Structure 1
Amino acid sequence: MTSTFLPSPPSKILSDLLNRNEKWTEANSGLFLQETQSPKVLWIGCADSRVPESVITNFEPGMIFTHRNIANQFHADDDNAISVLIYAVENPKMRVDHIIVVGHTRCGGVEACCKAAQADDSPPANALQRWLAPLTEFARNNGLGGDLSALLEANVRMQVDNVLKSEVLEREWGIRDVHVHG
């Protein structure tokens, strides 16, 4: 197997992506001339391609700082999520005031947890199952394996609780108010 930085000739999808990026760059040429970004919101959401935060909220680029992953998880031992939180709330040029944990209907990650919670309890077989293990265990222990809607809502509550328990927010609350929403 070989790999190159850009395929030659570029595929149709890649050509379309690059053309769209060029048009976007032209239309937003002043965006990166600003010294820094200054969003007031940190959005913790799902990586699902159907729910891009700036599109579904109709916000302009630069208004929402974003962390997205499978099933909008916020794990206390996830250096990536903690790093985003630190950067968003502690960086003097950012200092977001609101953290929003957002779930969505028909979430494939939460749906996978529902199915796994109904199956025999076995160790996670891959990275995705390890990532979703806390939610799967929660679903299993709370009888939510058969109720996707209830698990979607419970997941948002659980991730909000995880954010609220972070050392990052405990430190920041000693200085100023930061609001967490789900």
Structure 2
Amino acid sequence: MVLSVSRLAAARMPLKNCLFQQQASSPWRATAGMARQFCSKGGDKTPTDPALERLFKHNREWVDKVNKEDPNFFPKLGSGQSPEFLYIGCSDSRVEISSLIGLEMGELFVHRNIANMVVSSDLNLLAVMTYAVEHLKVKHILVTGHYDCGGVRAGMGNKDIGPVLDAWVQNIRDVYRLHQDELDAIVDDEARHRRLVELNVAEQCLNVYKTAVVQKRRYETHADPEAPFAYPRVHGLVFDPATGLVSKVPSDYRRTVKVLRGMYDLFDEKDFKAPKGFLLKKK
């Protein structure tokens, strides 16, 4: 498109009181209408949002409090991170995991999604896990679900909740299918929901074990005589919002992994000089 001299000159004019100053004539008609929505009577002054100002106020108060308690906290925080844990949890606003288990900033690398799912096609999750395992060298992966999980409840129903959410919740329905006999035998709806929360955590832990990045790192650390365990270790946890307590989901991962190794193992032990059966000898 060739601009006329007048339009070219107008395009070079400094912006004064508004993001867009061009007249609402072609080819500026579309953007001019949008511009009027963003321009205020105060020119370049943006109206204050009370909710956002409240957040800034709380932040400043928190910074002042931390500086008084530990003047070295922020300089240390700004020098880098070396977390020991990767957390894979639910996006639910009630689950603030660092506060629940007493970890400080910089001690926990975090990935959250609806119903704490570990899906092999989720590039966001895989990128987080790869960075945490290969570069940060985390020693523990905490797959953490919670009771009263909306995603798990949706997976128990047969209602259309929209194409995007339906596609995601389908993963939870797959967990239900794998454990249908046990779940259908539970008469109480709430008890069945709580058990599905636990089973979902257990299945997502197995999905973590299936990933190449975790398997490779566990082989490498097992071959290291200085490492007491094969890292990263994978833990299934569940949080109860009604009590505030975090507990471990009971599951015999070692037995399950032994059964599934022939199907899901991606590496040969001899490539890492690791003894046969490394998953069983080191926890």
Query: In the alignment, is residue 167 of structure 1 matched against residue 212 of structure 2?
Result: yes
* Pairing of 1:96-107 with structure 2 (within 5 A): 96-107=138-149
Q: Which residue of 2 aligns with 1:82?
A: 126
Q: Is the 8 A contact 2:175 2:199 kept in 1?
A: no
Q: Which residue of 2 aligns with 1:9?
A: 47
Q: Which residue of 2 aligns with 1:134?
A: 171
Structure 2 counterpart SS, 1:102: strand
- Residue 140 of structure 1: CA displacement? 4.4
C-alpha spacing 1:33/1:71, structure 2 compared with 1 (3 Å)? same
Query: In the alignment, is residue 152 of structure 1 matched against residue 197 of structure 2?
Result: yes
Which is higher, the Rg of structure 1 or of structure 2? 2
Distance 2:133 2:175 in 1: 29
Extract unaligned runs of 5+ from structure 2. Answer: 1-33, 40-44, 67-72, 222-229, 237-283
C-alpha spacing 1:3/1:129, structure 2 compared with 1 (3 Å)? farther
**Out of 44, 68, 71, which is 2:112 matched to?**
68
Q: How many residues align?
A: 172
Q: Is the 8 A contact 2:89 2:115 kept in 1?
A: yes
- Residue 90 of structure 1: CA displacement? 0.3
- Residue 77 of structure 1: CA displacement? 1.1
- Residue 175 of structure 1: CA displacement? 1.1
- Residue 31 of structure 1: CA displacement? 4.6
TM norm structure 1: 0.84
Distance 1:126 1:139 in 2: 20
Query: In the alignment, is residue 115 of structure 1 matched against residue 153 of structure 2?
Result: no
Q: Which has the higher contact order (CA 8 A, sep 6+)?
A: 1
- Seq. identity, %: 35
- Residue 24 of structure 1: CA displacement? 3.6
Distance 2:46 2:62 in 1: 23
Letter in 1 for 2:82: S
RMSD of aligned C-alpha atoms? 2.4
Q: Which residue of 2 aligns with 1:57?
A: 101
C-alpha spacing 1:58/1:10, structure 2 compared with 1 (3 Å)? farther
Query: In the alignment, is residue 20 of structure 1 matched against residue 58 of structure 2?
Result: yes
Letter in 2 for 1:138: V
Structure 2 counterpart SS, 1:71: coil
**Out of 86, 89, 96, which is 1:45 matched to?**
89
Structure 2 counterpart SS, 1:77: coil
Letter in 2 for 1:167: A
Instruction: Give the ranges of 4+ consecutive aligned residues of structure 1 lying more than 6 Å apart after TM superposition.
Output: none
- Residue 12 of structure 1: CA displacement? 2.1
